[in-house]
Every structure is written in structure tokens, then in C-alpha cells.
Amino acid sequence: MAMMNAKQYEESLRKLKLNVWMFGKRVENVVDDPIIRPSMNAVALTYELAHRPEHEDLMTATSHITGKKTNRFCHIHQNTGDLVKKTKMGRLLGMRTGCCFQRCVGMDTLNALSITTYNIDAKYGTEYNKRFLKYLKYVQENDLTCCGAMTDTKGDRSLPPHKQKDPDLFLHVVEERPDGIVVSGNKNHQTGAVNSHEIITMPTITMRKEDKDYAISFAVPSDTKGITYIMGRQSCDTRKTEGMTMDRGNMHYGGHEALVIFDKVFVPWDRVFMYKEYDFTTELVENFAAYHRQSYACKSGVGDVLIGAAQSIAEYNGVENASHIKDKIVEMNHLNETLYCGSISCAAEGHKEACGTYLVDVLLANVSKHNVTRFPYLIARLAQDIAGGLMVTLPSAADFDSPDIGKWLKKFYQGKADVPTEHRLRMLRLIENLTLGTAAVGYLAESMHGAGSPQAQRIMISRRINIKEKQRLAKELCGIEKGDHLS
């Protein structure tokens, strides 16, 4: 079939029979649920923009296995140009949605698996890559959204998977059958899980021989029997149910996370891409992490929105010409563009792997993501500084609409006389949403913990830095290598 548009994507989700729970109750209509719907809208935009001529170059690509046009989120990177376009696509969607648009994890999982399945086959003579390419063709031809599932709840983090008191704290094989495997366990913090057609799992950490039952990767339809989704809460999430768009800040889009439970889920062999090859878990985890750390160019797109909101509220408050305000806006832009630079650099310095897939520069990808764990917090701090305390003390939209007290609120919350009070309030709510509310999950908390917490990047940076070469350069310049001595 041809690439789906936004409406077709929505209709495809309606056909799924997902087992989703929220606030202790089963969600019967996931697509139209007011809390989940904004996150679906964000994913739908990735389909919509792919059909717009002005965005076609970034949003689509030519499949290396079919030669047909495909959504870039289903594409395997064939050159550094693809990697750069991925970065630019992330920024575009970040600025258009002001939140997480949820498809990056699946894209990064597909690309990491294209490399690792090939390398496992080269060592062991298996057929994982053949299976993977068949699956990839299916994903591309049906224009599917994939949820990349890596993180387990982990239990006692001082213990490896095989020593956990409860083995289900990590996803693992519980039965091997002639036609496939049966798995149990969980995947946590799953971005966009209930907006996805497919769930693709990976090991969450490096595995040892004793953990081989946990060294698995596979794909299943998201409504497979035995899979349950429990939605995570976000700050201010119930504002979406109140029917007052002003209090939501972002009127159209949002994100979501879920705990995904696998209770004796059957996986046919043709959808298994790693089965107990524990010696390849490090490669898969690190390559996925590198790709996904590049993906945080989206935060520069969300940063664009926040900077625009900060400038606007400064103008609405009548302080846009104050020197300290101008300087803060410049600082916000400097930090935001630095984030973008990091993602572009690791893409431009990418290289071709043995399978033909292009991988980002792993060191630069980790440096880029490490900046993301810091700079959005500084940008948000400056935005809150410029916005002022009213951002967190505003009465509700219902109070403004009240025939009894609304007149007082509109009178006393007026900023510049030529700016409608409502415009000022909406901008403040947007800043609140981006720095404190539901979107803060996708901007701040996700900046910190998404694709691994800061220490994970520091470990990778330490591994990738060639400190001996740096020492050699220093010694050569000061004469130590040549045996020069002071006279």
C-alpha cells in the first residue's frame, strides 16, 4: 500500500484491540480518549507532513530494499545525508508539535537491528538479517509506527537479570517451541506505545552467558494476546479532560509513556532477531543508544517553540526592550543551537557499517545527548524567569469565563493595552506546559533520562576518547617523545 496519511493512520489504530489501562480502569476507546488523543495527534503529524511537497525531502526516503518511497521513520540510513536529514526532520517535528512525536525510538531500533542482525549472521551463520529485512519490508509497505522497547524495570539494579528474585523484572524466554518462543516480563517508559502498530524489543543492558535467556530481540503486533499497557501519569494530565483549551497550553499535541507487560506472549521464529546471542547485546544496545542520542535534535525544535513563547510573553508584558531580557533570549538561542550542532555533527561524521547501514559517530552522539541533559533545563529556567510568577498562579479558564468574576480577571491580568488578556494567558500556559506540565515530560525529564541517563553518556564518552593519542600529541610538541632534555 502507499504511505498513509494522518486520517488513514488514525483509522488503522481504531482497528487494533489493545489492552490499555489508566487510572485503574480499562480504556475502551484509546484513539478518542482525551488524555491519550493529543499524543496520537503528534504521531499523525509525522504522516501528514510526509505528504506535503515542502517537507517531502526530509519526511520521506527511497527504500534500499524495494526502491519505493517510504516514510523516513521506516527507512534504513544509506549515507550521511540520510543521517543529517534525520536530524533536520526531528527539529522540524519538534517545532511543529512542541512535544515528543514518538516515532524516533522505532526508527532507531530498526537501524540498530539492521547492523546487529547482519553481524550475528556473519559470526554464527544464522538468518536473522534475512528475517529482519523481510520484516522491514512489511513495515515499509504498510507504513507502520513501531515502538522500540529497550528499558526493563530492572528490579534490584545491583543484580544481573538471572539473579533477580522475580525473573519477570527483565523480559526473557520462558518456553521454546518448534514454531517460536514464549516470553514474559516487561518494558517500561515506552514512548508512544499505544499509538504504535508494532512493538520491537531489545535487551536493556549488556548480558553475560548466565543471562542468555534475556538476550532476545523480536517484533510483535501491538495488540498481540498477552500484552497489557498501563499508562503513566504526567503532571497536569487531567487538564485535557476539562474541555478548556487555554489551561492545556499546547492545544493540539502531547506525548505519553506506558509500562508494557508481556504475559506469556508467543513470538513466531520469523519475528525473532536475536535469540540468546548474549555476546552481541553490547553492540545492539550501544548502536541503538548512539542513534537515539542523535535523535534528540527534537529538543532544539521544542526549544524553538519555548524561545518564541518567551519572546512573545516579554512583548506582551512590555519588557522586550530591557537589556537583560534581550540577553536572556540570546542565551536561550545559543544553548538551543548548540544542541542542534551536536546532532548535526554526529550525523555528518557518520560511517558505513559492514551491512551497508550508516551509523552516526558514536562519540559525538553521546556528547550531543550529554548536552541535552543540561541545556534544556537552562533554557526552561530562562523562560520561567522571563515569564514571571503568573505562569504558576493563574486561575483556571473557567474563572475567566465566569459571568461573576471573569471581568475582574480580565481587568487585572491585562498586560500591554493593545494585547488581548487572553493572548497573554495562553502564552503563559504554553510556557507552563513546556517547562512544568505534560510537555515537560517530553522536554525536560526526557532530556535527562531518554536514551540513557547522563552517566550512561559519560561512560561511552570515556570509552570512545583516545586519551593515549592526546597524550602522544602533547608529548611530541614538548619534546618528551624525542627524548629531549633540559640543558
User: Given a cut of 90, is residue 121 above it in pLDDT?
Assistant: yes
Binning pLDDT at 50, 70 and 90, where does residue 20 land? very high
User: Given a cut of 90, is residue 483 above it in pLDDT?
Assistant: no
Does residue 478 carry a catalytic annotation? no
Q: Specify the range with the lowest mean pLDDT, choosing from 242-256, 328-342, 393-407.
A: 242-256
pLDDT tens string 291-317: 999 999 999 999 999 999 999 999 999
Does residue 236 carry a catalytic annotation? no
Catalytic residue among 99, 100, 147, 346: 100
User: Given a cut of 80, is residue 484 above it in pLDDT?
Assistant: no
Catalytic residue among 296, 340, 358, 443: 296
User: pLDDT averaged over the chain?
Assistant: 96
Does residue 74 carry a catalytic annotation? no
Does residue 341 carry a catalytic annotation? no
CB 436 within 8 A of CB 314: no
pLDDT tens string 209-236: 999 999 999 999 999 999 999 999 998 8
Binning pLDDT at 50, 70 and 90, where does residue 2 land? confident
**Contacts (Cβ under 8 Å, ≥6 apart) of 261:** 186, 227, 228, 229, 230
pLDDT tens string 362-421: 999 999 999 999 999 999 999 999 999 999 999 999 999 999 999 999 999 999 999 999
% of the chain exceeding 70 in pLDDT: 99
Does residue 147 carry a catalytic annotation? no
Q: What per-residue confidence (pLDDT) applies to 329?
A: 98
User: Given a cut of 70, is residue 267 above it in pLDDT?
Assistant: yes
Does residue 275 carry a catalytic annotation? no
User: Given a cut of 90, is residue 481 above it in pLDDT?
Assistant: no
Binning pLDDT at 50, 70 and 90, where does residue 440 land? confident
Catalytic residue among 172, 292, 357, 432: 292
Catalytic residue among 146, 298, 346, 355: 298
Does residue 296 carry a catalytic annotation? yes
SS3 per-residue string spanning the chain: CCCCCHHHHHHHHHCCCCCEEECCEECCCCCCCCCCHHHHHHHHHHHHHHHCHHHHHHHEEECCCCCCEEEHHHCCCCCHHHHHHHHHHHHHHHHHHCCCCCCHHHHHHHHHHHHHHHHHHHHHCCCHHHHHHHHHHHHHHHCCCEEEECCCCCCCCCCCHHHCCCHHHCCEEEEEECCEEEEEEEECCCCCHHHCCEEEECCCCCCCHHHHHHCEEEEEECCCCCEEEEECCCCCHHHHHCCCHHHHCCCCCCCCCEEEEEEEEEEEHHHEEEECCHHHHHHHHHHHHHHHHHHHHHHHHHHHHHHHHHHHHHHHHCCCCCHHHHHHHHHHHHHHHHHHHHHHHHHHCCEECCCCCEECCHHHHHHHHHHHCCHHHHHHHHHHHHHCHHHHCCCCHHHHHCCCCHHHHHHHCCCCCCCCHHHHHHHHHHHHHHHCCHHHHHHHHHHHHCCCCHHHHHHHHHHHCCHHHHHHHHHHHHCCCCCCCCC
Does residue 446 carry a catalytic annotation? yes
Integer Cα distance of 294 and 104 in angstroms? 10
Catalytic residue among 10, 257, 277, 286: 257
> Average pLDDT of 277-287?
98
Catalytic residue among 198, 286, 432, 446: 446
Please give the domain boundaries of the chain with CATH numbers for all domains: 293-474 (1.20.140.10)
pLDDT tens string 346-367: 999 999 999 999 999 999 999 9
pLDDT tens string 54-108: 999 999 999 999 999 999 999 999 999 999 999 999 999 999 999 999 999 999 9
